[in-house]
Each structure stands twice: as C-alpha cells, then as structure tokens.
Structure 1
Amino acid sequence: MSTAADSATHRRAEPVPAAPAPSRARLQTVLLAVGIALAAVNLRPVVTSLGPLLDDVRADLGMSAGVAGLLTAVPSLCFALFGLAAPALARRIGPIAVVAAGMGAITLGVLARSYAGGTTVFLLLTAVALAGVAVSNVLLPVVVKRWFPHRVGPMIGLYSMALSVGTSLAAAATVPLTAEMGGSWRAGLGIWSLLAAAALVLWAVVALLRRDRSGGGRPAAGEGRTAAEPSGPIVRSRTAWALAVFLGLQATSAYATMGWLPKIYQDAGVSDGASGVLLAVVMAVSVPASFVLPSLAARRGDQQLFVVVLGICGIAGYTGLAFAAGTASWLWACLVGLSMCAFPLALTMIGLRARTPGGVARLSAFSQCVGYLISIPGPIAVGAVYQATGSWYLPLGLLAALLVPQMVFGALAGRPRHIEDELPRVPATA
C-alpha cells in the first residue's frame, strides 16, 4: 500500500511535459510573425521584377506588343480568380498550410518561367506564381486575425511594410542584379525564386509546428469555439461591398501610378533617371507609413478620418502633377505615395470588420477579388485618354476624380461595424 502511495507521490512530483510549452509558443509566434513579413515581401516581385526586363523578354520569346500589354491586366485577373478559392482551401487544410502552398507556387512559377521557351509557357508559369500570390493575399489577414487577435494593427503594419519593401526592392534591384549575372533576363527573373524558397521553408516549418490541419489548428486566445460564423451570402453585406469598391478604386490609382508616373514626369521635362527615382520615392514613402498607419487606424473605432486624409493627399498630388509636374516634383511624389497607403488601411479594415477568422477569410476573398476586377480597366483607360488627348490633364483629372468615390466608399467601409451583424449566422460546431 505504502509502495503504491510513494509511487503515486513520485509520479506527481515528476516534471510535467507541458512545462516548456510557453517557450515553444513564443518561438512559434516569432516564427509566424517573421513568416508573415517574409511572405509579404514575396507578393509583388513576381510582377515588379518583370517590368524592367519586359523588352528583353519580348525580344527573346517573340512576344507581341498585344500580349505584353495583356501582362499588365493578368495580375489583377489572377488575384481575383484564384483568390476566390482561398477560403475553401483554408477550411479544408488550414490557412497556414495554404499560405505555405502559395509560397511553393510562387517559387515554382518564378523559377520555371525563367526557363520558358515560348510565350504561352511563360504566361502559364507566371499565372502559377500569381495563383500563389492570390491565395496568400487573401489569407495573410486571416492568419493575423486568428493568431494575433489583439495585435491586428501592428501585424498588418508589419505585413504592409514588408509588401512595400518587396515591391520597391524588385523594381530597383532587378536590373543591377541582371547585369551582375551576365545580363540574361532569365537569371534576373529567376533569382527572385530564392527569396520565395526561403519563405517556403519557413512556412513549412511553421505548418509543422502548428500542425495546421482541419481548419487551421488551435483557435487564438480569446476566440471562442462557439463563435457564430457568417452563413448568408456575403454579397448581402453593405460593408463588404463598400470595402470591395474602396479596394478597387485604390488599386486603380496604384496600378495607373506605377505604370504611368515616369512617363508623366518625362513629358514634363524630367530626365529618365530622375523620373525613375521619383517613382521609387512614391514607393519608399509608403514603407514607413504602411507600418505606422494600421496601428493608428486599429486604435480607433472607425477609420473614416484616415480615408479622407489619404484621399485629399492623392487629389493634391495628382493636381500638382497635372499642372506643375516639373516643379516641386518630390512634393507630388510624396503626396501620391501617401495616398497609396489606402491599401494597408484597407487590409486593416478587413481584419477589423469581421469578428471571426472565418468572417475575415470570406471578407478578404470577396473584397480583394471584386476589388481587383474593378481595377482592371483603370490603367488601360488612363493610357487610352492620354493617347487620345496627347496630354496628362484629363488622365490625371480622372485619377483625382476617382478619389472622391474612393473616399465615400472608404468612409462607409470604415464605420465601426462587423459583417457578422449584416448576415444570418449559425453557431460554429465544436
């Protein structure tokens, strides 16, 4: 009897296996935060590394001017189409596993297209990489909401800043890297697969540590298992539509600016080199602002003030470009760069306008997919108006005018409400 009692006492005195859990949890949290940043860095080089080398790619592959022009619309189309599949995939295997697969698609697509022998294969492999970008675009806000529920602002800020860094880095470094590697566009595009491969390895490790299966693993702290998930069609949510239109108008301005800003400056007498630097200024301004803005926005119940301030910056910037692009050039670049911070603001609102990760997934997919579809005609229309008029007054006036409805829909999306309150709900199963 005493032996059994002593044995029981000894067993109770043994160290419990759960003791190292806090350290492991901290490690997983740090790895996931680094993974979010590294994934975000990889979401734009697929596109921005191609622009500086497009002439070389066209010449080598025999790509027509029409197909080359189509490439400007392919990213938005792929983001919209492939992003729709992200929520269903996340429910089946978990958001972390899907993002890891997205990093794999980016790695494969970017590397393989650098060996493409024809235009069709090049386009298909670019679409593979963009599919990885699309699902990651949609699900990274979901990962933030689920595993960082009380740090949505700072984590969206980290994500947005890293995305801006990746955009600027690929645009600025692709040509010098290509020159260092012998001048081949294949090496210049393929080198970015290494960055994607690093993200893939890290996300694979995170997925293994989290054992992200069947809905994405453990719920975040404070996320109840009986939380009601939105079950009605999300098209019935006014907030979702407002956010989608806001995102679409923002993307219209962003893609038109990135595509045409150097030409606007050059037509005003600014040198080719200086115009490229000014485009880099637009991107660089958004790096620190993208980090700070989401945290500030998340502290407020609504984000309407930020929507209006960014819209006014954009109107002032485009007006200055229209009438005095060659004068105070840096000022207009900074103002336009600030207006483009509407994107991280929209990402923040995606995380705030839904209570549950499931709601964030549906809202992210809907708003980004619809928004990217809305943005497709914008840059094409700006170019068409410029060709028809021979000046930038009307195209820049169009971009400035679009900021008015952007502010209206952004203010609607920025109201303190949740899509769960606008849709029928059913209790989630345990």
Structure 2
Amino acid sequence: MTRTAPSLPAAAASGSDRRRGLRLIAVAIVLTGFNLRTAVNSVGPVLEELEQGLSISSGLAGVVTTMPVLCFALIGFAGPPLAARYRDGHVLAGALLAMAAGTVLRVVTDAFWLFLVGTVLAMVGGALGNVLLPSLVKRYFPERTGLLIGAYSVSMAVGGAIASVSAAPIAAATGADGWRWALGVWAVFAAVTALPWLSVPARPGASREAHRRVRMRSLLRSRMALALALFFAMQSMQAYVLIGWTAQYLRDEGLSAATAGLLLGINTIVVIPLNAIVPTLTVRPHLQRPLLAGFCVSYVAGWVGLMVAPRGVPWLWMGLLALGTGTFAMVLTLIGLRARTPETTAALSTTTQGWGYLLAGAGPLLVGVLRGSTGSYTGMFVVVLAGVAVLAVTGWFVTRERYVDDEVPGWGSDAHHGDVIEVAGTEPPVTVHVTEPGGGSPRG
C-alpha cells in the first residue's frame, strides 16, 4: 500500500494535464474555424480597389475569385496524407503559418502573379482545416463531437461574416491602398492561431505507415456518383459567385462599399442555422424533393430580384440567396445516404467534393471574363440561373433512393475490411477499412 499511495497525486496530475491539453485543443479548433473563410470573404467587398491596385482586368479578377475553389479541391486532397506522415498539430500550425505568409504576400506585392501565389498560400489553412478539423474533433472529443463541430462551424461563419462586413470600412479608414489592410489584417489572426497547435501532442494510436488509399476510379461507372459531383459543383458555384461578385455588383449599382459588405455578411450569418436544420430534414426521404424545390425557388427569386431591382430590397434578395445555399448541407447529407458502407461513403465523399470544387471553379472565372468582355453583369445572371437549372435536374436524380454500391461492379464483395484509415476530401474525412491481400490486417 505504501507503494501505491504516491501514485495518486501523479495520477491526478496526469488527469489534470490531460484536461488542460483538451482545453487547449478545443480552443485551437475553434480559433482555426474562425480563420477558415477570412481570406476568401474579405476579397469581394474590396474587389474594385484590388483591380485598380493591381491594374488587372475583370477577367483576371475572376481568376482571383475562383482560386479559393480550386485550392480547396486540390490542396484538400493533401490533408490526410500529411496527417498520416506528420503530427496533426504541426500540419495545422504549418497550414496557418502558410496562410499568414500568403496573406502578407498578396498585400505587399504589385505583381499579379505574386498575388496569385499568395492566394494559394493563403488558402492552405482553409483547405487543410476543412479536411482535418472534423477528424480531430472525433479523435479528442468523441463524446462531444456535435458540440465541438457546432462550435467551430459557428466560429467559421462568424469569421467569414466579420471579414465581409469589415473589409470596406477598414479599406476606407486606412486611406490609399486601404484594400491591402482589409486583406492583410487577417494574417495576424492566422499566425496567432498557429501557436496553440505547436503544443498539441502527437496523437495516440497505431503506426501511420498503415495508411492506405482507396481506389475511386470505379465511381466513374456510377451515374449517382457523377450526378452528386455535378450537384455539388453547381451549389458550390452559386456560393462562390455569391461571395466573389455580388458585393461588387451592388457597389456598381450604387450601394456603398460598406453596405455591400454588410449585405454579404448578413448572407453568411443566415447560413448558420440552415447548416444545423437541413441535415435533420434531408435524412427523411419524403422531404428531400420539397427541400430541393424550395432551395431552387429561393435561388431563382434571389438572383432575379438582384437583377431587376438591386437597390429596392437588396437585403431580401441576399436573404433568399442565403436560403438557397442550404443545398450545401443537403448534398453533404446525401453523400452519406447514397452509399452503403464506410468504404464507399469515403470514396463517394472524396470524389464528389474534389471534382465538384474543380468544376465549380469555372463559375467565378467565367463571370469575370463575361463582365470584362461585355461591360455588364448580364453574363453573371445567365451563369447562375443556368446553374440553378442544372442543380434542379441533378438534384431530382440524387434524391432517388439508390446506392453507388449497386452501380459499381465488385464493390459489394470488397465492402468489409479490417483496418482503419482516413480518406482525403475537402470536407469532413471519413474512415474506411482495408486489409492486406490474403485477409490479414496490415497492423497484424
């Protein structure tokens, strides 16, 4: 007994250290969420000043607005392999420091190509955060997953809203080249957020060498998978045209930069309750098509309202567009409903989101090119309304109760395996199971 007594304070200290460590991780997760959209949402309200400051055309401005979408697709795929090789905290700390460096680079340069390099670096934090945060929540807070995911989702929306609302006032208050301050101030937040991640210990568990990749080429044979990818692409295109171009459009129609940014910020805030409500409704098959119809009607009403009466009740049009973006939460839920196993869900999630973001990137770019060549925003409304039509058609298809497993030959026989890995994607990663040829687990 005399040997065990001294261990009690040590055990208590160990438990106290663990609780402090978890609190540190929780704070780091929420702070990271705040940074995920600041570099994206701060651009739209000062797009005109950015064009003038860099002496670029509307077509090149379209490149700026489409870069985040492409980065989320391409960089996001690198998240799980990096986490498999390096400590999670170090990966996120590096991503946030890259975000800070990229943010600084794009506000100190006058060269457009360097601005693009800075944009890519600035998107690293958002892209890797999209992938890694949900898995970290599940790993460290398995009994409070909903609470922590909700907390950082709200933090992300708040960060995006503040970036949208504050960009124009910051630019106006800082004088000449004020747009640089409006974009650059977010580097401070990213750099500070990197610090707690450096103190996060290595995650417990098995060797990282056990990670494997899931082959997804077979999904090209699935009409459901292709339809989901196109559905995801169209809803993403709507969102990034909205973020990248509506503030500038409202300014060109006579609203002040501050008012345009405020309207974009309100749009972002409306999305918060939608992301909480829509998934619980989407899991009910009989509600899927009514939801789809409501979202499409909201999109059409919002875009047409902006086109014909931009100065009338712009808050109403932006609110309707915010309702339309409920398709984002809907498609994420449908991905889980259209696959039978963890393996096929992982492959479907990665394929849908990766290719979806790549296709969506054409939207903001095309808007910029059309605006530059025609001198008007008619092209923007043609693009988004055509996108709503495609969204409705593909949405009608993906709301049928079918499974990609049944459309891909051989997937059923490979569906159950024995070891857990993470699969890349631009949204919450999914766990899958793999075995070595011959049936043994790679971890023994």
- Global fold match (TM > 0.5): yes
- Cα distance change, pair 107–353 in 1 and its aligned pair in 2 (3 A): farther
2:310 aligned with 1:316, yes or no? no
2:218 aligned with 1:236, yes or no? yes
The answer for the alignment partner of 2:116 in structure 1 is 123
Deviation at 1:247, TM superposition (A): 2.7
Q: How many residues align?
A: 406
The answer for the alignment partner of 1:187 in structure 2 is 181
Query: Is the Cα–Cα contact under 8 Å of residues 139 and 361 in structure 1 kept in the other structure?
Result: no
Letter in 1 for 2:360: S
Deviation at 1:173, TM superposition (A): 0.9
Mapped to 1, the partners of 2:298 and 2:264 lie a distance apart of: 17
Query: Is the Cα–Cα contact under 8 Å of residues 96 and 212 in structure 1 kept in the other structure?
Result: no
The answer for the alignment partner of 2:317 in structure 1 is 332
The answer for the alignment partner of 2:429 in structure 1 is none
The answer for the alignment partner of 2:267 in structure 1 is 282
User: Aligned ranges for residues 135-146 of structure 1 at < 5 Å?
Assistant: 135-146=128-139
Mapped to 2, the partners of 1:213 and 1:94 lie a distance apart of: 13
User: Aligned ranges for residues 20-419 of structure 1 at < 5 Å?
Assistant: 20-184=13-177, 185-205=179-199, 207-208=200-201, 210=203, 215=208, 232-236=214-218, 243-262=228-247, 271-272=255-256, 275-290=260-275, 292-293=276-277, 297=279, 305=287, 308-309=290-291, 312-319=294-301, 321-322=303-304, 325=309, 329-346=314-331, 365-381=350-366, 387=374, 391=378, 394-395=382-383, 397-405=385-393, 407-408=395-396, 411=399
Letter in 1 for 2:300: Y
Deviations, residues 21-67 of structure 1 (Å, cap 9, x unaligned): 44444333333333222212212222222333344444444445443
Deviations, residues 110-168 of structure 1 (Å, cap 9, x unaligned): 12332224222222122122233222222223323433445544443333322222222
Mapped to 2, the partners of 1:37 and 1:171 lie a distance apart of: 19
Query: Is the Cα–Cα contact under 8 Å of residues 138 and 361 in structure 1 kept in the other structure?
Result: no
* More displaced 10-residue stretch of structure 1: 247-256 or 398-407: 398-407
Deviation at 1:182, TM superposition (A): 4.7
Mapped to 1, the partners of 2:49 and 2:385 lie a distance apart of: 33
Deviation at 1:10, TM superposition (A): 1.0
- Cα distance change, pair 45–37 in 1 and its aligned pair in 2 (3 A): same
Deviation at 1:231, TM superposition (A): 5.6
Letter in 2 for 1:191: V
Deviation at 1:285, TM superposition (A): 0.9
Mapped to 1, the partners of 2:140 and 2:293 lie a distance apart of: 32
Deviation at 1:372, TM superposition (A): 0.8
Unaligned stretches of 5+ residues in structure 1: 1-8, 217-224
Mapped to 1, the partners of 2:155 and 2:25 lie a distance apart of: 14
User: Aligned ranges for residues 415-426 of structure 1 at < 5 Å?
Assistant: 424-426=415-417
- Cα distance change, pair 118–353 in 1 and its aligned pair in 2 (3 A): same
Deviation at 1:104, TM superposition (A): 1.7
Deviation at 1:251, TM superposition (A): 0.6
Mapped to 2, the partners of 1:393 and 1:58 lie a distance apart of: 21
Query: Is the Cα–Cα contact under 8 Å of residues 107 and 194 in structure 1 kept in the other structure?
Result: yes
- Cα distance change, pair 397–68 in 1 and its aligned pair in 2 (3 A): closer
- Cα distance change, pair 414–14 in 1 and its aligned pair in 2 (3 A): farther
Query: Is the Cα–Cα contact under 8 Å of residues 88 and 202 in structure 2 kept in the other structure?
Result: no
Match of 2:4 among 3, 12, 19: 12
Letter in 1 for 2:193: A
Letter in 1 for 2:265: A
Query: Is the Cα–Cα contact under 8 Å of residues 249 and 406 in structure 1 kept in the other structure?
Result: no
Supply the RMSD in Å over aligned alpha carbons: 4.3
Query: Is the Cα–Cα contact under 8 Å of residues 244 and 371 in structure 1 kept in the other structure?
Result: yes
Deviation at 1:196, TM superposition (A): 0.4
Task: Give 3-state SS (helix, strand or coil) of 1:72's partner.
Answer: helix
- Cα distance change, pair 366–413 in 1 and its aligned pair in 2 (3 A): farther
Unaligned stretches of 5+ residues in structure 2: 420-440
Query: Is the Cα–Cα contact under 8 Å of residues 241 and 364 in structure 2 kept in the other structure?
Result: yes
2:421 aligned with 1:427, yes or no? no
Query: Is the Cα–Cα contact under 8 Å of residues 171 and 181 in structure 2 kept in the other structure?
Result: yes
Query: Is the Cα–Cα contact under 8 Å of residues 243 and 413 in structure 1 kept in the other structure?
Result: no
TM-score by length of 1: 0.76
Deviations, residues 71-92 of structure 1 (Å, cap 9, x unaligned): 1222222222222222211211
- Cα distance change, pair 54–114 in 1 and its aligned pair in 2 (3 A): same
Deviations, residues 321-372 of structure 1 (Å, cap 9, x unaligned): 4266466544432232122133345556778989999998766544332121
Mapped to 1, the partners of 2:229 and 2:201 lie a distance apart of: 34
